[in-house]
Structure 1
């Protein structure tokens, strides 16, 4: 099935998708703040690191990426589906996202950073469990 929008209209729609300060990012930041962690977002340090992490915790030399299950292909997640139209386009798009994410993670680890990926479905499904996991990963508790 062809797209119902023109190429220009679809481009306009896609350009309006938020890239920062998304609801999942705000939820993770709120959770970290409640746990007493201090971090930077959208700062110079964040932009200079490979992959432009969503959250940087300098004290713990840790970065957090907050990934949408759809865009970043969360394995075995019901939200990680492929649209039925333009399958080849979406497959290439998703594959390039995954390759880019893996390269950024590898580069950050090579620089001595700990990398944590939080998936959108984790935030929505079990926020308290996520809080415990983050605290354990960051403080070792």
Structure 2
């Protein structure tokens, strides 16, 4: 089919997870979720040689992202994204707090610290 129609549908099933982490641990958790999600596809039976990880370059990162990886699959038309795993930093919660006027910080009673959590977001198109 011309135009890779499967990737250009206007409506699709989507799944994502917003995983809240303490600032400073975000790279650890990004790496954790990249490995977990990659292994999930392998456990589903997808051959590893048909999967790859691609880290976004700094100039292609979304405005909200500190870092991002794509899990790509080798489709008949070439490599294309199955899932992105982004380190969104504190962008989402600081924007919500700014526009809602609410304090969205987290208080950690064990360390007696208050902080805005960072978000690690695995996000996949289910029907790809």
TM-score norm. by structure 1 comes to 0.33
- The structure that is strand-richer by fraction is 2
Using CA pairs under 8 Å that are at least 6 residues apart, name the structure with larger relative contact order, 1 or 2.
2
Given the two structures, how large is their TM-score scaled by the length of structure 2? 0.36
